[in-house]
Chains A and B, each alone.
Chain A
Amino acid sequence: MWAILSILVENKPGILFKVTHLFRSRNFNIDSISVGVTDNPEYSKMTITTYGDEKQIDQIVKQLDKMIDTVEVKQLDEHKTVYRELSIFKIKVSNANDSMEINKLANAYGGKVHDVRKDSIMVELTATPDQIRAFEELARPFGIIDVARTGVAALQRSGS
């Protein structure tokens, strides 16, 4: 199963290393990771997505919780969570029609178009990882020159 983990940590140097190291040393995988300082500068929030069976996810959460630098570790229920990832695609433009089609595609996914050139277009897309993957599949026939993705940021909805 796919899991979203929200980890509140002390905002100190070296913590990212420790968290990622824990995944490596315990034989877990990181699917994506995003880190940013919270409204309280003493803390950072890491959002890590990972795969594993229920037992493995349970172990990851417990091992993260055991770390002294983690203040709070939560596994978020994806149905009760707003989670988004920012991605930027550079897509090949072979003819004028491509340009129009890519624009349409970007619009359909709520993306923004940047840096329009004769032979390429950049699309900025903030969406769920599934939507980004779907967009990627549809953009692939044009030719994807490059992609950058941030990893997921996630917050649980109020009342859940």
Chain B
Amino acid sequence: METMTGAKALMTAMEKEGVKQVFGLPGGANLPMYDEFARCDIRHILVRHEQSAAHMADGFGRVSRKPGVCFATSGPGATNILTGIATAQADSAPMIAVTGQVPVAMIGRDAFQESDIIGMANPVVKYAFQPRTAKEIPEVVKKGFFIAETGRPGPVLIDIPKDVQQNTAEMVFPDEFKIRGYHPWADPDISNVEKAIEMLLHAQKPVILAGGGTIISSAFAELQAIAEFLMIPVVTTFKGKGSFPETHPLSLGPIGMHGHAEANRIMSEADCVLAIGTRFSDRSVGTFEAFEKRLKIIHMDVDPAEIGKNQTTQIAVVGDVRASLRIMVKMLMQKALKKSEETPWLKHVRETKDYWKQNLKLHPGEMGAAKILRKLRELLPPESIITTEVGQHQMWASLFYDVIQPGTFFSSTGLGTMGWGFPAAIGAKVAKPDVPVVDIAGDGSFSMTENSLATAVLEDIPVIVFLLNNFTLGMVAQWQRTFYDRRMIGVDQGKCPDYVKLAESYGAQGLRAQSMDELDKAIKTALSSDVATVIDIPIDPEEDVLPFVAPGTSLSDMILPS
């Protein structure tokens, strides 16, 4: 036992959890915590807006699979991180958000910079703590990290009143603790795995649908083993993109609103699906009814509440999907149930894939999205990490950037938070400083958190912003062209700002690429630079993302390039 302040206990407890850095911004109500940075080894990474701190922590968490930590002060500092917290919750990313709060005696009195962040954040956190005495802090931190990173990961908020940070107490840092109502793991039901194998073996047209849970639990090898053993084609959700190498012969890529044509086609024809770590979001499956009417669904998920939420399933396997898939692999190997390559279904899958690889019409110009993203893929090493912003570029990345090494592609897929990609890339680069990290961006989304350039430059975190710049809120413009008779309202970004000059004004490198040659050079320059780089790539503002499954329709009703 040691007597120390609550703030010191917070930092000590975080050090015990292995925290090496915190993304944040100081203010009145969290100054006691900030003062502790002077006396500990945790690095502080200053942001220019708290939302970015949360996205950086999120990016760090998704890549390292350990919770990223962000700090914000009370009131507006706390409300500014809410979007970041909600984003992490929607995508099941581990995160610890620590906010300052007004002193206990001031709570509820509408004090300066007071906000009821616990009340506001409750619907979008996995859990929230507000320790009212200093001595609670070590256990709160311990429990917070445990909750954030186990089971289905998510954000945990710790809101600490200023006097609780300042007060001293005899601190006990527990090794063990009990949370009675939290059971993050279930043992997969082996008999259901067995039934699942039977169902897959008897299906004429089976498909594997790999969701984000496959990436969260790193079940890459298991997924590939099962696909290859049973010779089943693999589609993914957008969040599951890259859970399976997209260069693999059995890979068809993401399904969904902007899924690959071949993936949507094959998904629409399948009679049985092994769905791994997915919530069957509307963006992935189109109309729920069309999906489940036709299909036998085997659903593996760590979260029992996902079973039956959006789809009626025939067989459910609750538990960590990697554990479930491992059991499946073992059973398959014992039974030596290897399937041959020559089924009519596989032949059809191959033909469908080949057809769309050759026949999907692309933008005819030199600087079409597909050509740009394929060039990026060609020049990036396989282990490079991609984050994306939200919008057309994000969907083009889904369509035209093939993930080679599983678990290297991250995006705000659930909440669809514009401004996520750049700070998340910074967090990702902190987690993996030795690999190139590229934010595939659009101008609308990037402009929401572009001031993180200051963080990238001052903290020496050299990420690359790969900016497909159509000077437009492109996805909204596409919807206005498609559904609102070309009435373009509120989408023109007016060639403002000049992103090369913007980058330079922050001390970052700004490059412009207006031809494939310039793009080739710019990517190579960025990769060999040790400073953050923005590559501004002007593109045609009229280019649509296609194929497109309109909301409320089924995957078989794709709008295709004409």
Contacts and interface: CB of A to CB of B under 8 A. Distances in A.
Interface of A: 9-10, 14, 17-18, 21, 25, 55, 58-59, 62-63, 65-71
B122 A59 contact: no
A39 B179 CA distance: 20
Contact of B118 (A9, A14, A59, A63): A14
Interface in B509-555: none
Given A9-B181, A63-B305, 9 more contacts: A10-B180, A17-B119, A17-B122, A18-B122, A62-B304, A62-B307, A68-B181, A70-B181, A71-B180
A71 to B, nearest CB: 5
Contacts of B308: 55, 58-59, 62
A62 B304 CA distance: 7
B402 interface: no
Interface string B186-209: 000000000000000000000000
A125 to B, nearest CB: 35
B497 interface: no
A14 B119 CA distance: 9
Contact of B304 (A10, A65, A67, A68): A65
Nearest to B127: A68
Contacts of A9: 181
Given A14-B118, A18-B122, A21-B123, A69 B181 contact: yes
B376 interface: no
B119 A66 contact: no
Contacts of A17: 119, 122
Contacts, number: 38
B179 A68 contact: yes
A66 B303 contact: yes
Nearest to B183: A65
Nearest to A18: B122
Interface string B286-315: 000000000000000001110111001000
B177 interface: no
B305 A10 contact: no
Contacts of B305: 59, 62-63, 65-66
Interface in B122-179: 122-123, 126-127, 147, 179
Main secondary structure of the interface of A (DSSP, over half): helix
20 contacts: A9-B181, A10-B180, A10-B181, A18-B122, A21-B122, A55-B308, A59-B308, A62-B304, A62-B305, A62-B307, A65-B304, A66-B303, A68-B126, A68-B127, A68-B147, A68-B181, A68-B182, A69-B181, A70-B181, A71-B180
A10 B127 CA distance: 14
Nearest to A8: B181
Contacts of A58: 308
Nearest to A73: B181
Contacts of A70: 181
Interface of B: 118-119, 122-123, 126-127, 147, 179-182, 303-305, 307-309, 312
B410 to A, nearest CB: 25
Contacts of B122: 17-18, 21
A58 B305 CA distance: 9
B158 to A, nearest CB: 14
Contact of B181 (A14, A21, A62, A71): A71
A18 B180 CA distance: 17
Nearest to B305: A62
Contacts of A55: 308, 312
Contacts of B179: 68
Contacts of A62: 304-305, 307-309
A70 B179 CA distance: 10
Contacts of B119: 17
B143 to A, nearest CB: 9
A17 B123 CA distance: 11
A13 to B, nearest CB: 9
A59 B182 CA distance: 18
Contacts of A25: 123
Nearest to A63: B305
A70 B118 CA distance: 18
Contacts of A59: 305, 308-309
Contacts of B303: 66
A13 B545 CA distance: 49
A66 B309 contact: no
A18 B119 CA distance: 9
Contacts of B180: 10, 71
B322 to A, nearest CB: 20
A132 B127 CA distance: 39
> Which of A55, A62, A66, A69 has the most B CB atoms < 10 Å from its CB?
A66
Contacts of B304: 62, 65-66
B142 to A, nearest CB: 14
B299 to A, nearest CB: 13
Contacts of A18: 122
Please give me the 4 A-B residue pairs with the lowest Cβ-Cβ distance, nearest first: A62-B305, A71-B181, A68-B182, A66-B305
A55 B310 CA distance: 10
Contacts of A10: 180-181
Contacts of B123: 21, 25
A68 B147 CA distance: 9
Contacts of B181: 9-10, 67-71
A65 to B, nearest CB: 7
Contacts of B147: 68
Contacts of A68: 126-127, 147, 179, 181-182
A10 B181 CA distance: 8
Contacts of B307: 62
B506 to A, nearest CB: 39
B332 to A, nearest CB: 30
Contacts of A63: 305
Contacts of A69: 181
B123 to A, nearest CB: 5
B311 to A, nearest CB: 11
Contacts of B182: 68
A32 B307 CA distance: 27
A68 B157 CA distance: 14
A14 B125 CA distance: 14
A63 B152 CA distance: 13
Contacts of A71: 180-181
A67 B424 CA distance: 28
Nearest to A64: B305
A9 B307 CA distance: 23
Nearest to B310: A59
